[in-house]
Structure 1
Amino acid sequence: MASTRVLLKVLDELSAKDLKRFIVLLEDGAEWEAIPRGRLEGKTCEEMALLLQNHYAQQALDVTRKILLVVPRLDLVNKMFAGGEEDGTRGSSRERKRERPQGQDCAGTVCDQLESSMPTPKKSREIAKILTDKQLMDLASQMGHNWKQIGIQFLKLKSYEIERCERESCHVMQIFNMLKFWRDREKKEATAKQLHSILASRGCPISSECIDWLNEENE
């Protein structure tokens, strides 16, 4: 199957460290059905590609893409899931639509997600609004000791992501890495307006003075 070939290409591109993270995330199962560690240990890339295909069926590519965003391997996401040649599909998007059964709603399928990821002039303008590293660092320098609560309760990060941030010895860099995790997950939605709406939520332990400038970035 074409999707199995794509999965194998993805796994072959991962370093030993990234592959280990990939396996750990497969066990997490926060947004997908977890695969028990016993089924993953000692598997070759070929065996793991078949396991992913058999376990997730049509969702295998989508689950793989989501995990790569967390690893993170954004370069690999762009390489494998941004166009038809790498993902094993053939023909134009119009030809692929004609191949679908009439009346079948394909919204939310891997096929539609791959097509929606193709760059357009409109999407290029949206990307320009994504928060930059400098903006995230500015915010990190103003955020206090409650950053872990903000990360888990309001930015919806996982505990293991917070633990990775804590490996940094510098307090500001810990918060900066947390904000980067959020930005990498949200992709084009990681705008100043979106982050302000989250941090301005009731109960969020951060003063309005620290985040008011985010509104100015939207003007």
Structure 2
Amino acid sequence: MARGERETLLAIQRALTDEQFQSLKFLLEERVPLAELLPASRPDLCRLLLQRFPGQALHITADLLRQIDRHDLLRQYQLPGAEDENLNWNGATNSFSKNEDTIGSSKNEDAVGSSKNGSTTVSSAPSRCDDANVVHRVVSSPLAFPGPPRRLTEKELMQIAQKLGKEWQEVGIICLGLERNRLDQIREDNPRHVVLQSFEMLREWRRRQKDDATAPRLRACLAAASLDPELLDLLQSFQKD
């Protein structure tokens, strides 16, 4: 096996937090025997990937990193598919810059007008309310949301779980209406793995909500709680998919 592949796998494992490392092992449970997977250290997991997926270890790792939202490691170590990640990243940056230029240009053109006699007049700049109305019209456009909200996927639930934190049980009881005894069972089934506990709680909520387990519904449930603003932003991004 190429030495570069072994070193890359180990460097990636060391770059993960403890919770992300446990999440990676959780996502591998259907591919690797639990008896080998659960006690595995970071070097052990690298060894398992190389043994179980000869020639595909980096591809598997790249897919797992996408699922736990560590796209930065894909780009940093140029894993399979990193070219697409770079294109998306650069495209988003360029698009943002162009939009900034366009907005700035539009505001300047609106601020300067010409009278009938050729003299230049300066009008008032658009107010923030005008900008808010423009944003509202764009978001409300039927083109922005071509269909009804879809059900959240397990990959998305995992990304949400990573941002819930240690107060996941309070969220489950107060925001999601789950029973305390069910949450205690989830905690016992996944000892010391806070992210997996949160993930299983969200899966329980999705099971009960069925087709109504959508990003807008979950965002509405969590909006009243004092959670990381990035979590609500993440749910907002799922609504746009």
TM-score range, shorter chain: 0.3 to 0.5
Q: Which has the larger Rg?
A: 2
